[in-house]
């Protein structure tokens, strides 16, 4: 008598057990039903599942999650999908799910869909930071610090040139500003007057910022390809304060392109299509 069966009998009334009981097999492996009858309680039924007491489950189930394409493919190589296995993906969520026990191609043959491995891509930190900053105006020092931290992703203008602009922005943090547009190249020119002393008056300086920046970014960590992402370099003056931002152009198409590259790699390696969710 198994431990599960013993527990089930203990849950029945003492009279019922003393009177009569019968154990019958259920419709699933390891499932049994204990049926007993006594005068006081009438018919009693206790169902037990012996799977938990076994060293291995009756069938594979559960989900495993990985964060890299190579790990996902390695798991599918270790344990390949059979005829009823399917692949489902969502570019927006950065998620690809392999379902081992999906509904079978044959009519009226359902699957439990509870044996899966999931590829959950992690957003690249540089991608996240640039998108979090996009279109938000910052004061000069704060803006300079944020852009300097991400300077390694900048392709145009030259990083040294952009760093010089950032240093000039920081140095002009106590100035009074007026702005204009350079019609020849679209660059924005800021004229700022810095007070030197109470008696010496003011010194006039100019600061030119580019119209665009070009970045090299990847949507997800570990993705083998980086993509050109352009952004508008913008500024505005509120009172005497200079505020700056870089507003990225839409990147939805870049995500779709990167996702297509991933799904093509998986589909060709596993020889199954990826269904869009």
pLDDT tens track for 9-45: 556 555 544 456 677 766 666 677 777 776 677 777 7
- Inter-CA distances, 272 with 46, 65, 168, 215, Å: 44, 20, 55, 35
Give the CB-side neighbour count of residue 255, counting CA atoms within 13 A: 19
Nearest CA to 66 out of 276, 222, 224 is that of 222
The model's confidence at residue 213, banded by pLDDT at 50, 70 and 90, is very high
pTM: 0.73
> What angle in degrees, to the nearest 10, is found between the helix axes of 252-270 and 69-78?
20
Using alpha carbons only, what angle is made at residue 68 by residues 62 and 69, rounded to the nearest 5 degrees?
A: 90
Q: Which of 82, 71, 83, 84 is nearest to 117 (CA)?
A: 71
Task: Tell me: cis bond preceding 248? Omega within 30 of 0 counts.
Answer: no
Could you report the per-residue pLDDT of 160-199, keeping only the tens digit for each?
888 887 777 665 555 554 444 444 444 555 554 444 333 3
Q: In degrees rounded to 5, what are phi and psi of residue 267?
A: -60, -40
Say if residues 210 and 147 touch (Cβ distance below 8 Å): no
> Which long-range contacts (C-beta less than 8 Å, at least 24 apart) are formed by 149-152?
150/126
Predicted pLDDT of residue 70 = 95
How confident is the model over 132-150, as pLDDT tens digits? Answer: 999 999 988 888 889 989 9
The listed range with the strongest mean pLDDT (4-8, 226-230, 236-240) is 226-230
Check: CB of residue 246 under 8 Å from CB of residue 231.
Answer: yes
At residue 100, the pLDDT reads 95
Predicted pLDDT at 27 = 60
Cα(105)–Cα(268) distance, integer angstroms? 21
162 vs 270, which has greater pLDDT?
270
Residues 6+ apart with CB under 8 A from 155: 214, 215, 216, 228
Which residues have CB under 8 Å from 222's CB, separation 6+?
67, 68, 69, 122
Tell me how far apart the alpha carbons of residues 7 and 191 are, in angstroms, rounded to a whole number. 85
119: tokens are: 């590829």
């Amino acid at each position: 008598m198994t431990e599960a069966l013993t527990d089930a009998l203990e849950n029945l009334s003492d009279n019922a057990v003393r009177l009569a009981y019968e154990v019958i097999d259920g419709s699933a492996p390891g499932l049994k039903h204990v049926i007993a009858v006594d005068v006081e309680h009438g018919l009693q039924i206790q169902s037990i599942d012996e799977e938990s007491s076994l060293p291995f489950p009756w069938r594979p189930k559960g989900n495993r999650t990985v964060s890299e394409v190579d790990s996902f493919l390695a798991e599918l190589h270790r344990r390949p999908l059979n005829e009823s296995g399917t692949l489902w993906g969502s570019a927006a969520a950065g998620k690809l799910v392999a379902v081992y026990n999906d509904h079978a191609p044959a009519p009226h043959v359902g699957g439990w869909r509870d044996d899966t491995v999931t590829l959950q891509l992690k957003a690249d930190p540089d991608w996240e930071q640039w998108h979090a900053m996009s279109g938000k105006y910052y004061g000069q020092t704060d803006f300079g610090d944020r852009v300097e931290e991400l300077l390694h992703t900048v392709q145009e203008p030259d990083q040294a040139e952009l760093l010089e602009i950032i240093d000039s922005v920081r140095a002009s943090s106590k100035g009074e500003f007026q702005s204009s547009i350079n019609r020849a190249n679209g660059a924005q020119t800021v004229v700022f007057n810095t007070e030197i002393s109470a008696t010496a008056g003011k010194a006039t300086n100019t600061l030119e910022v580019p119209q665009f920046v070009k970045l090299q970014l990847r949507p997800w960590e570990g993705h083998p390809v980086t993509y050109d992402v352009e952004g508008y370099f913008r500024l505005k003056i509120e009172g005497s304060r200079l505020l700056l931002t870089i507003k990225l152009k839409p990147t939805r198409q870049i995500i779709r392109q990167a996702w297509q590259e991933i799904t093509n790699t998986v589909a060709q390696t596993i020889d199954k299509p990826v269904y869009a969710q």
